[in-house]
Each structure stands twice: as structure tokens, then as C-alpha cells.
């Protein structure tokens, strides 16, 4: 029997934690539908600053959250419906994107949208990506989750993602950008992604024999909230967990042409080399051990009386 959950919160930290909690602490099968407030969701093996427009996210207070599945970076907002399948699986046949996207394709067909599985993990219609998917295996269970673009802000989506990654050298998994589209124009009978969620839950109740709606228990909520606090809301998971990387860039800093090489391991600057700015050269050693984060680097520069405009800090990302 499949238990269908319609999350009543738009908190992305909680919703990601809920997936992991139910995957690892239950033998039941679940489908979770949720809508998150603006956030950028990172694949498990990615380097966040390489994938996102760090300045745009900082200035618009959009969080970066790492998930437990692999794959690329995606943007969530209230125009994006997220679906998750947590199912029992047979050893050796656990990773199966076609299997878990088929119910979504069938649902879309039922509401008049013909979608196809293309590439490694995408759903597309008329050549445009409408859904990205990722999976994580835990023992004999699989978490398959994906996005479904309804009326997401595509301008914000494009602004959150880094276009040029050439300054970064790393073995981290990179994203595979695609041309995307919203489904709102194709689905005239739906006004919001919440309407789409209700329709999808009704479809799945018929699609999976014996399935039923499931309300989270107080224990489910408590444990997911704890995991959200202890893991998904932390810098250690979202930034420090990723692979080491090197950032190399040449730019103007306080009126001088400046170049830098920054080596980062476990989210922390391990080496910092610079040429062109005497002030930076004198204080480069003070950045060793500093988190590679704008606010942390600003603190160091101000403590050492380095002359710069705050927005110049983003030239190191």
C-alpha cells in the first residue's frame, strides 16, 4: 500500500528532511507532493558556488540546500510542484528513472500534456524540459524525486544558476543546463501548482491500488524538524560537504587589476594566492582557515582594514 502525503509546508529544509527520514526510518512506501518557497537545491556531489550565482542568491536571500541524491542543481519556488516516490526495491534493479517517471508521464497525459523521458533523467514536452529527476538508494529502498515546472519564475531560475563555471576546477558533478518551459499555458484548467498537486494526488490514488492519503504523525514531524535543523539547515552539509575545488580569476579590485587563486577544502580556504593588490597580498594569509563565504571573507577584510566595497567580495566567487 502506498501512502500519499501532501505536505502542508513550503519549508524546503523540512520537506527534504522528511524524505530522508521516511526513507531511512520506515518500511512503508510513500509518495510525497510538496511546493517549496524560493530555494536552490543542490545535488549531493556538487560544489555550490560553482553551480549558483552567489551574489544573486545572497542579495535575494535565497538558500542553497544540498539533497541526498545526485544529479544537478534545480530551482524551486511556489510555481514548482515536487514529487517524491519512496519504494521498496530489488537489489540490482534499484536505479530506474523510467520506472518512477512513468506514473508522472501518465498523469500528465491524463490532463492533456504529452511528455517523454529523455536523456538521463529529464521529462520533456516539445523539446523543452519540464522536469528534472534524481535518485538515492538506501538498502532495499529507493528515493526518487523530481520537479514539475508549472508557473515558476523562469527569470529568477536563470538568475540563480551560474552561467560560466570556467573559474572553477573541481571533480564535483556539474549540472546539465537545458531549455525549460512552464506547463501553465498547456494546463488551462489549473490556476496554481497547488491545483496541480491536488489533481496528481487524486490520479495516484486510482493509479496505485490500495493507496491512501497519509497524515504525518507528531513523531514524523518532530523527527523531520530535528533532521532539518541538525543537517539540512547547516553550512557543514550545504557548503562544506562538497568536493574540494580551486577558484582562479582576474578582475579589478579597488582600482587595480588583481588575480587570485583560492584553494578550498571542506568549504574552508586552505590556500590563497593573489597578485596586483598590495593590500590583498599582505593579508592573504589571514584568509587561511576562513570559510569560503562572502560574509566570512568580509569580516576578515574589515578586521585587517583592507579597502574595498562590500560588493567586490563577489569577485572571489
pLDDT tens-place values along the chain, 317 residues long: 999 999 999 999 999 999 999 999 999 999 999 999 999 999 999 999 999 999 999 999 999 999 999 999 999 999 999 999 999 987 766 788 998 999 999 999 999 999 999 988 899 999 999 999 999 999 999 999 999 999 999 999 999 999 999 999 999 998 888 899 999 989 989 999 999 999 999 999 999 999 999 999 999 999 999 999 999 999 999 999 989 999 999 998 888 899 999 999 999 999 999 999 888 889 889 999 999 999 999 999 999 998 888 999 999 99
252 CB neighbour count, 10 Å cutoff: 12
**E strand spans, 51-140:** 64-66, 74-76, 80-88, 116-118, 122-125, 128-138
pTM for the full predicted model: 0.95
Q: Which residues pair with 42 in a beta bridge?
A: 66
Q: Which domains does the chain have, with CATH numbers?
A: 2-240 (3.30.930.10), 245-316 (3.30.390.50)
**Sign of the torsion formed by the C-alpha atoms of 9, 12, 14 and 16:** positive
Distance, CA of 22 to CA of 24 (rounded, Å): 6
Contact 1, 212 (CB under 8 A): yes
With the CA atoms of 182, 185, 191 and 197 taken in that order, what torsion angle do they form, in degrees rounded to the nearest 10? -50
Report DSSP letters for 156-201, one per residue. Answer: HHHHHB-S--TTEEESSPPP----B--STTT-TT-SSHHHHHHHHH
Contact 84, 46 (CB under 8 A): no
311 CB neighbour count, 10 Å cutoff: 11
159 CB neighbour count, 10 Å cutoff: 17
Amino acid at each position: 500500500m502506498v501512502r500519499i502525503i501532501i505536505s502542508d509546508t513550503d519549508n524546503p529544509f523540512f520537506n527534504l528532511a522528511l524524505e530522508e527520514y521516511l526513507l531511512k526510518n520506515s518500511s512503508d512506501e510513500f509518495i510525497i507532493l510538496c511546493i517549496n518557497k524560493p530555494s536552490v537545491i543542490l545535488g549531493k556531489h556538487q560544489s555550490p558556488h560553482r553551480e549558483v550565482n552567489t551574489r544573486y542568491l545572497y542579495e535575494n536571500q535565497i538558500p542553497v540546500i544540498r539533497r541526498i541524491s545526485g544529479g544537478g542543481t534545480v530551482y524551486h519556488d511556489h510555481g514548482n510542484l515536487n514529487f517524491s516516490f519512496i519504494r521498496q526495491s530489488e537489489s540490482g534493479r534499484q536505479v530506474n528513472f523510467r520506472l518512477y517517471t512513468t506514473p508522472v508521464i501518465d498523469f500528465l497525459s491524463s490532463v492533456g500534456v504529452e511528455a517523454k523521458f529523455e536523456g538521463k533523467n529529464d521529462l520533456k514536452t516539445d523539446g523543452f524540459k519540464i522536469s528534472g529527476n534524481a535518485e538515492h538508494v538506501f538498502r532495499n529502498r529507493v528515493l526518487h524525486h523530481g520537479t514539475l515546472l508549472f508557473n515558476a519564475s523562469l527569470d529568477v531560475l536563470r538568475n540563480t544558476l551560474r552561467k560560466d563555471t570556467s573559474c572553477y576546477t573541481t571533480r564535483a558533478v556539474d549540472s546539465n543546463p537545458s531549455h525549460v518551459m512552464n506547463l501553465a499555458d498547456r494546463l488551462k484548467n489549473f490556476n496554481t501548482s497547488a491545483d496541480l498537486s491536488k489533481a496528481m494526488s487524486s490520479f495516484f490514488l486510482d493509479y496505485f491500488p490500495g493507496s491512501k492519503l497519509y497524515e504525518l504523525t507528531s513523531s514524523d514531524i518532530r523527527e523531520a524538524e530535528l533532521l532539518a535543523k541538525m543537517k539540512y539547515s547547516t553550512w557543514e552539509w550545504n557548503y562544506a560537504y562538497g568536493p574540494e575545488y580551486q577558484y582562479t580569476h582576474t578582475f579589478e579590485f579597488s582600482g587595480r587589476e588583481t588575480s587570485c587563486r583560492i584553494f578550498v577544502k571542506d568549504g574552508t580556504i586552505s590556500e590563497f594566492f593573489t597578485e596586483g593588490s598590495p593590500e590583498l597580498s599582505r593579508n592573504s594569509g589571514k584568509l587561511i582557515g576562513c570559510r569560503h563565504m562572502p560574509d566570512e571573507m568580509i569580516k576578515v577584510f574589515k578586521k585587517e582594514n583592507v579597502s574595498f566595497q562590500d560588493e567586490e567580495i563577489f569577485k572571489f566567487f
